[in-house]
Amino acid sequence: MLPPETVLSAAVRPTAMNDLPLILASKSQARRAMLAAAGITAEAIAPNVDEDALKEGLKSEGVTARNLADALAEAKAVRLSRRVGAGLVLGADQILAMDDGVMLDKPVDPADAIAHLKLLSGRKHKLFSAAVIAEQGTPVWRHIDIATLSVRPLSDAFIEQYVEAEWDNIRHCVGCYEIEGRGAQLFSAIDGSQFTIMGLPLLHLLDYLRIRGILTS
């Protein structure tokens, strides 16, 4: 079982290397925007990982939502790191788990989004946001953050109006919401970092980049 806290490989402790490029193993606009807003320059490259096949295989083995998020983030980071060679490659993933353990994927169409929101209505769910950095094909840092969100009871009319208005924004979002936008209307309570909800444990990542000398302490 993975430990709950941030993990640093012994291989990353000795030397700060502020000339190493940071590469994001994702085309996620939200994660790219978070990094840019925090003053981090990172090239974004698709990792070419078959996420669906990997996810289904791990689910069939009974992997928990937390460990599933971690495994997917690692797969992206390691796969791309082996391809590009030098640099720190950041992989990230997010898994939504209901209070009964059921995991939801991104909606495939508006009807699927409506079904997801009806399932989420009036219930709590957790978001597990994992980040892994690989260097020369080996994971050297990882962190998993958890946010707990309480969805207020949603009327069918609200859900239908919301999906119609927001579909282009939420089609790539697990849970069918952007917390920084109209998705805030879904919730009665939130326990956790907004960065975690948006898909990246950003503050812990910044700590690691300071350790490596990529950011000034």
- Of the residues 19, 50, 70, 93, only one is catalytic, namely 93
CA 160, 164, 170: angle at the middle one, nearest 5?
105
For residue 12, give both structure tokens. 């990353």
Secondary structure letter of residue 106 according to DSSP? -
Coil, helix or strand at residue 102: coil
Distance CA 188, CA 105 (A): 22
Q: Which of 166, 181, 174 shows the shortest CA–CA distance to 199?
A: 174
Residue whose tokens read 């788990």: 97
Active site residue 93: yes
Nearest 5°: phi and psi at 9? -70, 150
Contact of 139 with 170, CB cutoff 8 Å: no
**Residues annotated as catalytic (active site), given as ranges:** 93
